Amino acid sequence: MSASGRSPAETRKLVEAGLKKRNSSEKRFQAYGIFGVLIGMLFLAYFFATIITDGASAFFQTHVKLSVHFDPEVIDPKRTNDPAVWEKANYTKLIKASLSEIFPDVSGRRDKKALRQMVSSGAPFELQAMLEDNPRLMGQTLELWLPADDEVDMFYKGKIDRDVEESRRRVKDNQIVWIDRLAEQGRLEGKFNKTFFTSGDSRDPEMAGILGAMKGSFFMLFVTLVIAFPLGVAAAIYLEEFAPRNRWIDLLEVNINNLAAVPSIIYGLLGLSVFINFMNLPRSAPLVGGLVLALMTLPVIIIAGRSAIRAVPPSIREAALGLGASDVQTVFHHVLPLAMPGLMTGAIIGMARALGETAPLLMIGMVAFIVEVPGTPFDPSTALPVQIYLWADSPERAFVERTAAAIIVLLFFLLVMNGLAVWLRQRYERRW
């Protein structure tokens, strides 16, 4: 102070003069921080709101009530009672017949075709399946709720604007008239979309479901868990409890840390050239997907496992060793059970990440269009995130809401898994 030649009073004045500016700068800086946090949260809120509003309507599918006559003349004109004949019969004719009952005034090839197209092209298969289940339906007339076509569904849900000029929308003017008439008669209703959870992929949005993708993901996660969990835990045990401190082990640790940061798509390249080209494993199979994801999650599980094992205090080990246990016994009888909640939390978080992973699966051919629901890990299949990718690329308007619905299902599974991890941590975590 004396060096700058100011008296204490002067200095005090100087500081007080700047104080206001400094305080407001302080406030501003704090506001920036709050702003950053708010942006993140706002994005999250907007994101969830969009996905949910986009996807919620896909859990309901518009159905049309038709009185279908299982006409023997159409299905089995020669009365063979042969299931093969029944299977090949033209069930679309039944739907046409019941539609013209409701709309007797519709005539002309084009109009009739437009009318028939309002009912899903999957509806005939439903009729066939019903008859196969219960042959006694033959000759009877039933009031059935059949799925409507995806464009009708979109219109009925208000996702196609009727004020747009006709050439620019997929539902034509005459179809709108018919839809209104069906709605007046109470023959149009949004029902719970069971198909979405019980069938595989399809080109028709109203027939497409995520069961195939879910099973594919399930098989994949199963393979991943079976491979990555034991290997990861074993590696973590070795590195924490048995490994000598030398340069090789240092290298191994650096290696594991780097593996955790390798882009996932590189693991896809590994899977393609090692598992598919070199080992000749089947393409598009959940087995290969699971192997690739296992290699990807392994570093995550090892890193989490090591910190869980490190958290077990040395006194436990010393007590066990003091009572005459061997070091292997100490680890497997005492350290491992105590570290188990932490190990499982790490594994679940790794699994959750694997469930959402898409890029490596594209490399190993899991993007194929697969209708059949896989029965084993060797069957070709897609996975939930890949299904989302495929549907997001589809041009049909109705696939947008189904994509969002699949996302909701995926996020639900992730939520459950992460919730489980948090619960495990809180329930079993011990502070030493």
Phi, psi of 375 (to 5 degrees): -100, -25
Beta bridge partner(s), residue 60: 192
Helix (H) or strand (E) holding 147: strand 141-147
Q: Choose, by CB under 8 A, the member of 147, 299, 305, 374 that binds another protein.
A: 299
Distance in angstroms (rounded) separating the CA atoms of residues 386 and 409 = 13
Question: Is residue 53 part of the contact set for another protein (CB under 8 A)?
Answer: no
Longest dimension (CA), the chain: 119
Would you say 219 and 376 are in contact if contact means Cβ atoms under 8 Å apart? yes
Q: Choose, by CB under 8 A, the member of 75, 115, 220, 237 that binds another protein.
A: 237
User: Toward another protein, which CB reaches closer, 115 or 154?
Assistant: 154
Minimum Å gap between C-beta 84 and another protein is 21
Among the listed ranges 114-122, 141-149, 155-163, 237-245, the one in contact with another protein (CB under 8 A) is 237-245
Minimum Å gap between C-beta 3 and another protein is 17
Among the listed ranges 60-68, 135-143, 198-206, 383-391, the one in contact with another protein (CB under 8 A) is 383-391
Residue 178, phi-psi category: left (phi > 0), alpha (psi -120 to 50), beta (remainder): alpha
User: Toward another protein, which CB reaches closer, 37 or 183?
Assistant: 37
**x-or-dash pattern for another protein, window 249-288, by CB under 8 A?**
---x-xxxxxx-xxxxxxxxxx-xxx--x-xx--------
User: Toward another protein, which CB reaches closer, 94 or 363?
Assistant: 363
| DSSP per-residue letters across 376-403 | STTS----HHHHHHHHHH---HHHHHHH
Q: Choose, by CB under 8 A, the member of 14, 41, 129, 416 that binds another protein.
A: 41
Among the listed ranges 70-78, 161-169, 171-179, 355-363, the one in contact with another protein (CB under 8 A) is 355-363
Question: Is residue 134 part of the contact set for another protein (CB under 8 A)?
Answer: no
Question: Is residue 238 part of the contact set for another protein (CB under 8 A)?
Answer: yes
Among the listed ranges 126-134, 174-182, 304-312, 410-418, the one in contact with another protein (CB under 8 A) is 410-418
Helix (H) or strand (E) holding 75: helix 72-75
Residue 333 is encoded by which pair of tokens?
Answer: 């009888």
Would you say 373 and 215 are in contact if contact means Cβ atoms under 8 Å apart? yes
Distance in angstroms (rounded) separating the CA atoms of residues 90 and 163 = 37
Question: Is residue 39 part of the contact set for another protein (CB under 8 A)?
Answer: yes
